[in-house]
Amino acid sequence: MSLWGLLSMSVAEITRTAPTKLESTDYYHMDDLLTDQEREVRYRVREFMMNEVEPIINDYWERGEMPMELLPKLRALGITGGPIPGYGCPGLSSVSMGLISMELSRGDGSLSTIYGVHSGLAMLSIFFLGSEEQKQKYLPKMASWETIGCFGLTEARGGSDAAHPETTARREGDSWVINGNKRWIGLANIADFCIVWARNEETGKVNGFIVPSNTPGYKAVPITGKIGKRAITNCDIYLDNVAIPLENKLENSNSFRDTAIVLGATRIGVAWEAIGHAMAAYEYALDYAKRRVQFGKAIAGYQLTQSKLVNMLGKITAMQMMTLRLSQLIDQGKVTEGKASLAKAFNTANAREVVALGREILGGNGILLENHIARHFADMEAVYTYEGTHDINTLVVGREITGVQAFA
């Protein structure tokens, strides 16, 4: 478009950012390395985010409300319970799972976390650690979103040191009685049950318990005033002598090492999430830089802007290649805790820089919600911190490569 053409556009037209498109940043042709099934699921999710989510999500984000109207549509996408075979779940490959996380967060981080909490943390806890009876009872209804689950590990006084919860479980007759608190728990205000991680008073070990949210003594209170992930509710949970049947203990959760199996799997999803946020920021920034005229030409034509864009693209490409390989290693049984943590730490640090550069390229318009990039910028702060902070994941890799634990 000529300079005159640009000058004759309305303010709204000039400032609008609009790279809502099916294809995405793929400089080194990652798509060529995917199977047809992986490509299909990726585009299915992208189309959903583009058509159903991006047009409405800013309003929810600004109001700090969850987009409940999207849950039936999320269900219809056929991705819930992703990697789980059977129980009404699709049994997708690890690479497909990564691409789903990437495309969800490329559209919106809150929806990505809604999916990650219910379909990832809660369903995988039951799949990895539940008895066959527990799987049959919960997973099919969770796959159809008839029953919603959440995951309660973090406490007000214990975030990074998750292996030492203050919440306790003691056996009394036919019940487990749970006391304590949980903090930051996504979906807890709408969930039918929470997987609560508590220290077994008999063994001293951490066990997981399926705690129905209508149990007397259980209270979930939404946390307000968040500056990121505003379209998913996080809660404080208070547990005051909450009595649940003995069979509600996840049968195969015997110590925190079992909890770590679930976290290892979901942490890789978070590494992919970071890529999605970075891609969105890059795509909005590139589009804007080509249209935004200053000093007589589009800012894309200035060396400093190009340097920022290239920096962003390099980071995205490195993250894509590294994380694709990591997901392939899962299916080959070669992933370790350190390998998963490396991708989480590396990707969230790099994506955090990418969204900041993208925000910068949009100038003042970059802090306006209507241009989307501000939402990715703010949401990325939470991604950097949850599922193990950047520091803790770094120290997990450090422990694996040196043999020395440096965080306790």
Give me the least distance between CB of 391 and ligand FAD, in Å please. Answer: 3
CA atoms within 13 A on the CB side of 101: 31
Two tokens, residue 249: 């203990």
Give me the least distance between CB of 165 and ligand FAD, in Å please. Answer: 10
Query: In the complex with ligand FAD, which residue's Cβ is closer, 155 or 283?
Result: 155
Q: Does residue 117 contact residue 78 with C-beta atoms inside 8 Å?
A: no
Give me the least distance between CB of 130 and ligand FAD, in Å please. Answer: 18
Query: In the complex with ligand FAD, which residue's Cβ is closer, 324 or 396?
Result: 396
Supply angle C-alpha 397, 308, 288, rounded to 5.
120
Query: In the complex with ligand FAD, which residue's Cβ is closer, 134 or 259?
Result: 259
CB contact set of 6 (below 8 Å; sequence gap of 6+): 14, 291, 293
Cβ burial of 204 (10 Å; 0-12, 13-18, 19+) is exposed
The reply to whether 186 sits near ligand FAD by the rule CB under 6 A is yes
Query: In the complex with ligand FAD, which residue's Cβ is closer, 157 or 325?
Result: 157
Q: What is the dihedral of CA 221, 225, 226, 227, to 10 degrees?
A: 170
The reply to whether 151 sits near ligand FAD by the rule CB under 6 A is yes
Q: What's the DSSP call for residue 249?
A: B
Choosing from 20, 160, 189, 311, the residue that interacts with ligand FAD (CB under 6 A) is 160
Query: In the complex with ligand FAD, which residue's Cβ is closer, 183 or 292?
Result: 183
Choosing from 15, 154, 266, 365, the residue that interacts with ligand FAD (CB under 6 A) is 154
The reply to whether 27 sits near ligand FAD by the rule CB under 6 A is no
Per DSSP, the three-state class of 158 is: strand
Choosing from 55, 294, 391, 405, the residue that interacts with ligand FAD (CB under 6 A) is 391
The reply to whether 185 sits near ligand FAD by the rule CB under 6 A is yes
Positions 209 through 248 that interact with ligand FAD (CB under 6 A) = 229, 234
Per DSSP, the three-state class of 34 is: coil
The reply to whether 198 sits near ligand FAD by the rule CB under 6 A is no
Report how many residues bind ligand FAD under the rule CB under 6 A: 21
Other Cβ atoms within 10 Å of 174 Cβ, number: 9
Two tokens, residue 13: 């037209």
Give me the least distance between CB of 254 and ligand FAD, in Å please. Answer: 19
Stretch that binds ligand FAD, among 149-157, 247-255, 288-296, 360-368 (CB under 6 A): 149-157
Q: Does residue 341 contact residue 388 with C-beta atoms inside 8 Å?
A: yes
Give me the least distance between CB of 126 and ligand FAD, in Å please. Answer: 15
Instruction: Go through 254-291 and write b for each residue having 16 or more CB atoms within 10 A of its CB, e for each that does not.
Output: bebebbbebbbbbbbbbbbbbbbbbbbbbbbbbbbbeb
Contacting positions for ligand FAD (CB under 6 A): 117, 151-154, 159-160, 184-186, 229, 234, 382, 385-389, 391-392, 407
